[in-house]
């Protein structure tokens, strides 16, 4: 059973999606993928690699368009897919923070106002004024999440954003995400970390081979997903 979808922020209605530039003999299609996300829901997305999780998130963000069905959004969404999407190697950390904030749809004024907090949260110190090509992968992770963490997005979409950075920063990022849950009107995230999903999500979606298999209470959905792998 799908949840009551009054006050929906994002609603999928029988979405089908096909990659336009892949081999035509093996299209990837979301089938029978119909659900809604209500205000103040934190919805997690669970499934094996290649199940269609990232496709669902990109449809929700408006990056992809469905070939049939509808994706309806009533708020502005802020996607964060991977670490440093849109970063430029020749620009400094400061300049990339401005660039990334613009990519997320945040005004320059808001980014500049938040910049001291972004710098402090990142812990990058003097490296913030150095070009990005000098950054390690962990430093890029710090920069990318720090921008999101300080910009108070309305509806946040996250795709495995806690895989980069050192252990201390990952834990710091998770704590900040719990704070964002209380500030956002909603959140949609994909992760293989079932403990994290169970702790932060109000609801959980299990998708496999492009088919919505379950949508409901996180503990129950995780149990169904784990039992299916036995």
CA separation for the pair 61, 44 (Å, rounded): 15
Q: Are 52 and 209 in contact (CB under 8 A)?
A: yes
Token pair belonging to 69: 């069905």
**Whether pLDDT at 168 is above 90:** no
Q: Give the helix/strand (H/E) hosting 143.
A: helix 137-149
User: In the predicted model, what is the mean pLDDT of the chain?
Assistant: 80
Q: What is the pLDDT of residue 115?
A: 94
Please write the tens of the pLDDT for every residue from 35-67: 888 888 899 999 888 888 888 888 888 888 888
Q: Which CATH class is domain 80-184?
A: alpha beta
User: Taking the domains of the chain in order of start, what are their residue ranges?
Assistant: 8-75+189-228, 80-184
CATH 1.10.240.10 fits 8-75+189-228, yes or no: no
Q: What is the pLDDT of residue 62?
A: 83
Return the closest-CA partner of residue 122 out of 134, 107, 109, 138.
Answer: 138
Please write the tens of the pLDDT for every residue from 23-32: 444 455 787 7
pTM over 0.85: no
Q: What is the pLDDT of residue 80?
A: 72
Residues 213-218: contacts with CB under 8 Å, at least 24 apart: 215/1, 215/2, 215/3, 215/35, 216/1, 216/3, 218/44
CA separation for the pair 193, 184 (Å, rounded): 21
Least confident of 15-19, 50-54, 107-111, 220-224: 15-19
Same fold, 8-75+189-228 and 80-184: yes
Q: What is the pLDDT of residue 84?
A: 59
Residue with tokens 């994706």: 71
**Whether pLDDT at 163 is above 70:** no
Q: What is the pLDDT of residue 9?
A: 62
Q: What is the pLDDT of residue 15?
A: 61
């Amino acid at each position: 059973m799908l949840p009551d979808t009054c006050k929906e922020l994002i609603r999928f209605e029988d979405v089908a999606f096909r990659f336009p530039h892949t081999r035509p003999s093996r299209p990837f299609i979301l089938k029978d993928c119909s659900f809604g996300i209500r205000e103040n829901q934190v919805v997690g997305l669970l499934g094996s690699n290649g199940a269609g999780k990232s496709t669902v998130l990109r449809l929700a963000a408006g990056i992809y368009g469905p070939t049939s069905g509808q994706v309806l959004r009533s708020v502005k969404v802020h996607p964060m897919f991977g670490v440093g999407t849109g970063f430029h190697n020749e620009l400094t950390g400061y300049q990339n923070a401005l660039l990334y904030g613009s990519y997320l749809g945040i005004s320059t004024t808001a980014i500049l106002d938040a910049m001291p907090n972004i710098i402090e949260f990142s812990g990058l110190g003097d490296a913030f004024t150095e070009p990005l090509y000098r950054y390690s992968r962990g430093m890029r992770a710090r920069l990318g999440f720090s921008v999101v963490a300080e910009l108070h997005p309305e509806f946040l979409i996250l795709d495995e954003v806690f895989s980069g950075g050192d252990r201390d920063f990952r834990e710091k990022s998770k704590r900040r995400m719990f704070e964002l849950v209380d500030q956002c009107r909603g959140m949609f995230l994909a992760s293989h970390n079932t403990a994290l999903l169970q702790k932060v999500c109000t609801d959980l979606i299990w998708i496999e081979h492009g088919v919505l298999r379950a949508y409901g209470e996180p503990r129950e959905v995780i149990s169904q997903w784990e039992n299916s792998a036995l």
